[in-house]
Structure 1
Amino acid sequence: MNKMITGRSTSQARDFMDGIWNKHELACISEQMAHNSIIESPVRYSIGSVAFKNIMQIWLRAFPNIKYMEESLSITEDCLLLKWSVSANHLGEFYSIAPTGRKVRYGGLTKFTIKDNLICNYSAFVNVKGILSQLTSQDTVILNSNLIDSLYDAVREVLGKNLSNQQITCLALSCLNISVKEIAQFLRIEQSSVLTYLHRAFCSLGIYNKKMLIDFAIEHNAFELLTRIATTLKLQKL
């Protein structure tokens, strides 16, 4: 058995997976991958570290709070096999599916070939159909009320604040740059009520205006969820 694989390469593969998935340290990709490395991913087949960064951005945009856990590691003559599982919330677009906020769990296998301390082959085997089935089951996509409820719950989870539905609704509509007057008309409530909901939500989040709201939502991976709520509510009014 190759001692380099059982020693330094094993640690490198483990650190690499933990770095890119749990810590989002994408800078290590160009440092540890060969410029002509072969990438086999469910998203696409590609070559090189730049292409792999693009692939990672697709996954991390869809599942920014992903939690990766190694389950086992095995070694062949020339490669490492890492079996793993992950859990995450669907907070960004994935395979043209808008964010649902749903919790997904899936597993997979990644094969590494490492030569001269550089990853020259990265092959990931994931059941994408299994992921999509968790995002598009009939009982949550067809029934808008259930979908909306799951989106509100997801906003509360990612922001870590127990905001009311009306507060989240006002925040969501504000993210579409809708004025207080227009929000009041849309919700059929007084402008003073909208201002109260926004004020209480802003205080809870530690922000003071709409610009800070958008920056805060983007930073906490909630912007797409909020805009999804707003657009879904607007469609229901048509």
Structure 2
Amino acid sequence: MKHRDKNIAFVQRFMHHVWQDKRYHEVGEFLSPQLIVESPLRTCVGSQNLSNAFSVWLQAFPDLQYHEQDVSLYGDWVKINWMCDGDHLGEFFGLSATGKKITYCGSTMVLMSDGIIHSYRADVSLPDVLERISGVPQNGPSMASQPSDDMFAHFNRITGAQLSRRQIECLSLVCLGNNNKTIAAMLGIQYSTFRTHIERALPLLGLSSPKQVFDWAFSTHVLELLIHIGLRRIRPVHP
């Protein structure tokens, strides 16, 4: 049933498009080019990477059925709790097709802005799914606790800069409003080292002061990316 809230209705249409219609290679109209993806498979940037993640599931479970259980709205975030069931008919993390029918539950959180999706977070227990298939307890793939290299490379592509990973981390924590000494402590570096990273990075971006970073990031459409990197330095996100 179509929801009256436009963001919820949009996300419901997107989920149906991917999981029910199996049109996971045709998602461009729904997603920001700078989409941030956090899933049990990996953390990455870009709509193609999300399509690739969908394909892992739908090639292993081509008859997968998606059932929405409930939906919640938290500001611009939409959260859907769901259940899926399907037959294991293709390779999945090294496990050959078994034909077993499995059911598993999870949730998806989506950040909406300007009528499209800017962040996609999937929460599902891969070890549980793998154990249901194989009958053997599994550790399953784990997400890295640090931001992936994709995000830093994507930042440099968008800005045309060639900043180091550490310089970008410093900028990300500046965007979160941390003071300089706190940032140095978070990164486990000396205050003087932090100052060196910032003083070298700012001119490459056409900036002269850390106070300009937030507005610059907003105007160049990398604010969400920097905030995401900064948040993962403060607290890892586990799906």
Q: TM-score, normalised by structure 1?
A: 0.54
> How much has 1:26 moved relative to structure 2?
2.3
- Residue 105 of structure 1 aligns with which residue? 103
Q: Secondary structure at the match of 1:14?
A: helix
1:90 and 1:102 in contact (8 A); partners too: yes
- Residue 59 of structure 1 aligns with which residue? 57
> How much has 1:77 moved relative to structure 2?
1.8
Distance of 2:127 and 2:4 partners within structure 1 = 33
2:7 and 2:112 in contact (8 A); partners too: yes
User: Aligned AA for 2:33?
Assistant: H
Choose from 19, 31, 46 the match for 2:44.
Answer: 46
- Residue 80 of structure 1 aligns with which residue? 78
- Residue 124 of structure 1 aligns with which residue? 122
Q: Secondary structure at the match of 1:84?
A: strand
4+ residue runs over 4 A deviation: none
Choose from 16, 20, 23 the match for 1:22.
Answer: 20
1:6 and 1:75 in contact (8 A); partners too: no
> How much has 1:28 moved relative to structure 2?
4.0
Q: Which moved more, 1:124-133 or 1:19-28?
A: 19-28
Distance of 1:32 and 1:78 partners within structure 2 = 15
Unaligned residue ranges in structure 1 (runs of 5+): 139-238
2:108 and 2:122 in contact (8 A); partners too: yes
* CA deviation profile, 1:39-97 (whole Å, cap 9, x unmatched): 11111111111111111111110010000000000111230110000000001111111
Q: TM-score, normalised by structure 2?
A: 0.54
Q: Secondary structure at the match of 2:56?
A: helix
Distance of 1:6 and 1:121 partners within structure 2 = 22
Choose from 117, 133, 136 the match for 2:134.
Answer: 136
Distance of 1:102 and 1:27 partners within structure 2 = 26
1:16 and 1:28 in contact (8 A); partners too: no
User: Aligned AA for 1:95?
Assistant: F
Distance of 2:6 and 2:56 partners within structure 1 = 29
- Residue 89 of structure 2 aligns with which residue? 91
- Residue 13 of structure 1 aligns with which residue? 11
Superposed, which structure 2 residues align to 1:214-229 within 5 Å? none
Distance of 1:88 and 1:44 partners within structure 2 = 23
Superposed, which structure 2 residues align to 1:206-217 within 5 Å? none
* CA deviation profile, 1:166-212 (whole Å, cap 9, x unmatched): xxxxxxxxxxxxxxxxxxxxxxxxxxxxxxxxxxxxxxxxxxxxxxx
RMSD: 1.4
Superposed, which structure 2 residues align to 1:158-177 within 5 Å? none
- Residue 158 of structure 1 aligns with which residue? none
Unaligned residue ranges in structure 2 (runs of 5+): 137-239
> How much has 1:27 moved relative to structure 2?
4.6
- The sequence identity of aligned pairs, in percent, is 29
2:76 and 2:113 in contact (8 A); partners too: no
